[in-house]
Amino acid sequence: MAARTLPDRFIARAPVPADAPAIARLIAACQEADGDEPDASAEEVLRDWEGLDLGQEAVLVVAPDGEAAAYADVLNRRYVQLSVYGYVHPRFRGMGLGTWLVQWGEEWIQDRMHLAPAEAQVTVQHYIRASSTSALRLMEQHGYRPVRDIWVMAITLDQPPPAPEWPEGITARTFVPGLDERATYEAVEEAFGDIWGRPPSTFERWLSMTQSERKDPELWLLAVETDSGHIVGTCLGQETAGKGWIGSVGVRRPWRGRGIALALLQEVFGVYYRRGVREVELSVDAESRTGAPRLYRRAGMHVKHRYVLHRKEIRPGIDLSTTAAHS
């Protein structure tokens, strides 16, 4: 791979919390250039940084005039799968900054590959807006291949959502901080164990990445067996800058097909509505083997954005993101 070089007088450094407003403006400019309503906020950036080591897992490129020109951070799963989330300000596109970010992500994982299980395949992936022809072309030029369609689905809560109908023997309750962490983590990992392309996480990593959400337990709903209290499903939401985001909805395999996931969604939509939140989003694998997109449509959601997941193999080996590899 060619050495990374920046344009003259551009510098790269780790971001600090004081950079959050500038990075939010950068992301908003990218949203507007892509035809979206610019709604990124510093609050959202700071929340996204929870669980990140900014000194190691993010990079900010600053232009000669001091403006935030490009930014990227990573989601690292056991050093076998690295997701890179990058942005280049429209004003500075065409200068090679996108290439620089792609190479930064690849070098990041190459420098840490020795921390992955010895037999594991190591990959880097990017979520690219389906309508962004230049970014799609950049992926192709760097040897990435499209492997999956990912949708962001949304619902506008302009009226109270339907009341949930819980199957017999199942009830819902909110997460209890200090009590439910381990059991909730185990329920999430089991429910997502057969989701395509998701290596298992560790309890410690999960705790660090969900720190702020757990401080707002009203939006963390648990479906439990009435008699045993056993957690059979989870719906983990958050509110940032007046917007709702559902990070995950999952039901353990033996309890699927009973309407639990739909009831969880309707329950959390009701919480958002009572709070005055009118727009709620989530992301989903368009080809989910669990039929998740159909569920979300039944709940009243629609496809808002389409992304194409591009992946590149950095080291061959066993794919730990498949069920067979870690079942």
For 56-101, what is each residue's pLDDT tens digit?
999 999 999 999 999 999 999 999 999 999 999 999 999 999 999 9
| Distance from C-alpha of 324 to C-alpha of 118, rounded to nearest angstrom | 17
Report the DSSP pairing between strands 58-62 and 122-129: unpaired
Predicted confidence at residue 2, as pLDDT, reads: 52
How much is the pTM? Answer: 0.89
Top pLDDT among 201 and 223 is at 223
Q: Is 289 exposed, middle or buried (0-12, 13-18, 19+ CB in 10 A)?
A: exposed
User: Predicted confidence band at 289 (pLDDT cuts at 50, 70, 90)?
Assistant: confident
Cα gap 290→202, rounded to integer Å = 23
Q: Which two tokens stand for residue 200?
A: 């298992």
Residue 85 Cα distances to 10, 62, 81, 82, 283, angstroms = 20, 17, 13, 10, 15
Q: What is the pLDDT of residue 39?
A: 86
136-155 tens-digit pLDDT: 999 999 999 999 999 999 99
Between the alpha carbon of residue 315 and those of residues 106, 198, 235, the distances in Å are: 11, 17, 35
Which secondary structure element, helix H or strand E, spans residue 20, and what is its range? Answer: helix 20-33
Tell me the residue type at 107: E
Virtual CA dihedral for 224, 202, 199, 101, nearest 10 degrees?
120
Q: What's the rounded Cα separation, in Å, for the pair 277 and 299? A: 17
Above 90 in pLDDT, residue 134? yes
Residue 325 banded pLDDT, cuts 50, 70, 90: very low
67 Cβ contact list (under 8 Å, min separation 6): 22, 89, 91
Q: What pLDDT score was predicted for residue 323?
A: 41
Tens of pLDDT along 174-188? Answer: 999 999 999 999 999
221 Cβ partners below 8 Å, 6+ apart? 172, 173, 174, 175, 234, 235, 236, 237, 264, 267, 268, 271
Residue 275 pLDDT > 90 = yes
Decide: 265 and 249 in contact? Cβ < 8 Å.
Answer: yes
Q: What is the pLDDT of residues 209-234, one digit of tens each?
A: 898 898 899 999 999 999 999 999 99
248 three-class SS:
strand
pLDDT digits (tens, 9 = 90+) for 108-130: 999 999 999 999 999 999 999 99
pLDDT band at 13 (very low <50, low <70, confident <90, very high): very high
Q: What percent of the chain has pLDDT over 70?
A: 96
- Rounded Cα distance between 162 and 84, Å, is 37
pLDDT tens track for 160-174:
999 999 999 999 999
Are 87 and 26 within 8 A, CB to CB?
A: yes
Start-to-end C-alpha separation, the chain: 35
Burial class of residue 62, CB neighbours in 10 A (0-12, 13-18, 19+): buried
The pLDDT score that the predictor gives to residue 320 is: 84
* 154: three-class secondary structure by DSSP: strand
Which domains does the chain carry? 11-150+309-326 (3.40.630.30), 154-306 (3.40.630.30)
Strands, E assignment, the chain: 11-13, 58-62, 68-77, 81-88, 122-129, 145-156, 170-174, 220-225, 231-240, 243-251, 279-285, 302-315
